[in-house]
């Protein structure tokens, strides 16, 4: 059984961006994509594997960066970059499918989950824009 005081201490050490559901989903997808990459043939190491690992990592990285930024425009910039990286990762997933490394069901599932992340990013950008407008 987990110690309640230990659980409370863990909650204090969570970064602010880790509380965002969109970061949590992007992070989980990144882990999943990296696990898929572990099974790719060696000759793909510096081709698609490197590219998809970097783009999938960049989604969560840029969400964290955007959330942690002080200025509204920097927040929006980070989230815009995360959205672009999510689209790039979706493209790489289709490439993995096209090359026969993953089946269509897996590809569709991951792409659909990235669409959810993209919708979350769009919602966050809209929220920041409204908040920025209210401050003027």
pLDDT at 135: 67
Residue range 95-121, pLDDT digits in tens: 999 999 999 999 999 999 999 999 999
Looking at the predicted structure, is the pLDDT value of residue 2 above 70? no
pLDDT at 8: 47
For residues 59-79, average pLDDT: 94
Distance CA 97, CA 89 (A): 12
Rounded to the nearest integer, the mean pLDDT of the chain is 90
Question: Is pLDDT larger for residue 52 or for residue 132?
Answer: 52
Confidence of residue 65 (pLDDT cuts 50, 70, 90): very high
Among 57-61, 64-68, 83-87, 129-133, the range scoring the smallest mean pLDDT is 129-133
Distance CA 82, CA 65 (A): 9
Contact present, 120 and 25 (Cβ < 8 Å)? yes
Confidence of residue 10 (pLDDT cuts 50, 70, 90): low
pLDDT at 32: 97
- Cα separations in angstroms, 117 against 3, 20, 74, 76: 33, 11, 19, 15
pLDDT at 6: 45
CATH numbers and ranges of domains, the chain: 20-135 (1.20.1440.60)
């Amino acid at each position: 059984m987990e110690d309640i005081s230990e659980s409370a201490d863990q909650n204090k050490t969570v970064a602010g961006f880790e509380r965002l559901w969109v970061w949590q989903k992007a992070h989980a997808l990144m882990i999943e994509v990296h696990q898929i990459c572990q099974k790719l043939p060696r000759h793909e190491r510096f081709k698609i594997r490197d590219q998809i690992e970097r783009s999938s990592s960049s989604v969560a990285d840029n969400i964290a960066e955007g959330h942690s930024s002080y200025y509204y425009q920097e927040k929006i910039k980070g989230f815009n970059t995360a959205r672009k990286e999510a689209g790039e990762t979706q493209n790489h997933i289709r490439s993995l499918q096209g090359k026969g490394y993953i089946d269509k069901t897996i590809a569709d599932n991951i792409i659909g989950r990235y669409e959810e992340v993209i919708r979350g990013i769009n919602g966050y950008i809209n929220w920041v824009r409204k908040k920025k407008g209210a401050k003027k």
